[in-house]
Amino acid sequence: MPGKVAASILSADHAYLADQIKLVEQHVELIHIDCMDAHFVPV
């Protein structure tokens, strides 16, 4: 099975998240979203 490269939005400006996703969505097959809860992932 071939691997996939996903665009990550971790470094995106979350104040403009929807706009930044729109900028890349036509160029990528999938977008990776990290959900951090401050319990399993430190802040």
Residue 8 has a pLDDT of 80
Q: Please choose, from the candidates 41, 10, 31, the residue with its C-alpha nearest in 3D space to the C-alpha of residue 23.
A: 31
The per-residue pLDDT for range 3-41, each reduced to its tens digit, is 888 878 888 888 998 998 898 888 888 888 888 888 887
**Would you call 15 exposed, middle or buried from its count of C-beta atoms within 10 A (0-12, 13-18, 19+)?**
exposed
Residue 19 has a pLDDT of 92
Amino acid at residue number 17? L
- Please give the DSSP secondary-structure letter assigned to residue 21: H
Residue 15 has a pLDDT of 92
Beta partners for residue 32, in sequence order: 8
Q: Domains in the chain: how many in total?
A: 1
Q: Which domain holds residue 4?
A: 1-43
